[in-house]
Structure 1
Amino acid sequence: MSRPVALLTGASSGIGEAAAYELSARGYALVLAARREERLHRLARELDPSGSRIIAVPCDVADPAAREALVAAALDHFGRIDVLVNNAGVGLGGGVWWQDPDWARVLRVNLEAVMALTALVLPPMLERRRGHIVNVASVAGQVATEGVYSASKFGVRGFSFALRRELWGSGVEVSAVSPGFVRTEMTARSRLRMPGPEVVARAIADVLERPRREVTVPRLYRLAALAEALPALSDPLIARAYSARRRR
């Protein structure tokens, strides 16, 4: 049987890079997508010097034409896409969202691109009655922290859960993976102790082998979702933490 083919966005660093190593080790053929061309090609060569099992396709997922070219390149090389891992994501990098001139880019990358890439790969999956879509959300999509980023990740979770129901019985699985704080470029300024992105990469690979609605990692963050059920306590605590961080 041929290797399953996974299209992985945001693959040049952090969770995406770790997921590329993990999925490659588990026998997947990979289409690696990210904006940083040099890093992306270096990763692909390291994982597969032959260039036959793993290809790199530079892509800004916020660009509709680039998304279509990405999917076309994957199909041209492998003939099919069995798995879509929507991992690409951005934040605002500090400050308040309403002062950022391009705050909507967070929505375009984190939410719109997830939906658009899904729409591109889904019809062939439905025809084959086989496939899996994994959307990397966030604990910030369970507990509201930052306006635009949380909105995007709440949206990813809502989209994932609704799509899972829409596709029930079709043979196409849908899962959300919601990381808490892990060491990536996005959390580089944080003083929190946190695990590396490998913990999320393993969760992505595991959910492909054992499909689930949502996986939250690290496991401790499963308790964080309780905060939204107790707003009288969580609202002032989260507000103070956010204000303190904004002043730094």
Structure 2
Amino acid sequence: MPDDTAPRRGGWMAAGWRALRWLASRLALVLLGLVAIFAFVNPPVTWTMLAERRDHPLAERRWVPLDQIAPVMQRSVVAAEDANFCLHWGFDMSEIRKVVASGSNRGASTITQQTAKNVFLWQQRSWVRKALETGLTPIIEALWSKRRILEVYLNVAEFGPGVFGIHAAAAHHFGTTPDRLTAAQAARLAAILPAPKTRRTDQASARSRAILDGAATILRDGRADCFQPRGRERSGG
């Protein structure tokens, strides 16, 4: 007796794949639209903030334009997280090669990649998230300026449990505003970014000293030029 269940199974599988492709294409369009919108509109909230709210009350957060963030804070974050930020198109290939050659487990994510993850995706590691992050990164680089990327990153990055964005970070850790952060405070804030849930500003002295030096170096050698015009910086901190 012929088995007619196999054609039915094949039909359901084909329909399932069609549905998945349809969903994937719609997701891609939604993400592309959001990337374009957020080139001009500030992201109101992120998945990470919503997830964190379940475990910690969120500190008061306000959006701070890049011009109202101390220049030394901008440089400190770049020095700590992505010293070649102005030189790459979203992926720092020299850092990636170093990590591969050393066999290290440390990441080589750029600020653009971290912005893609923080704004549009989630924190848990998976191949799906990494694939989406890899696809979003060059689109962000194409549609946003470097100044916009850094501004968004500084306003959504986590600086402690429930502390998102540079406004909340400056107030929570130092009782000040982003434009009044000193070089030492900026370096200590940048030092906690890799492990914001476990690292405190008073535990990051050695790393913060290295960040202070790195921030000065990228100013001298021009690696801050894409987000800090030199004429403006000479009159700022």
The TM-score bracket by the shorter chain reads under 0.3
TM-score, normalised with respect to structure 1:
0.24
Asked which structure has the greater RCO (Cα within 8 Å, sep 6+), the reply is: 2
Higher-Rg structure is 2
Task: Say which structure is richer in helix.
Answer: 2
Give the TM-score normalised by structure 2.
0.25
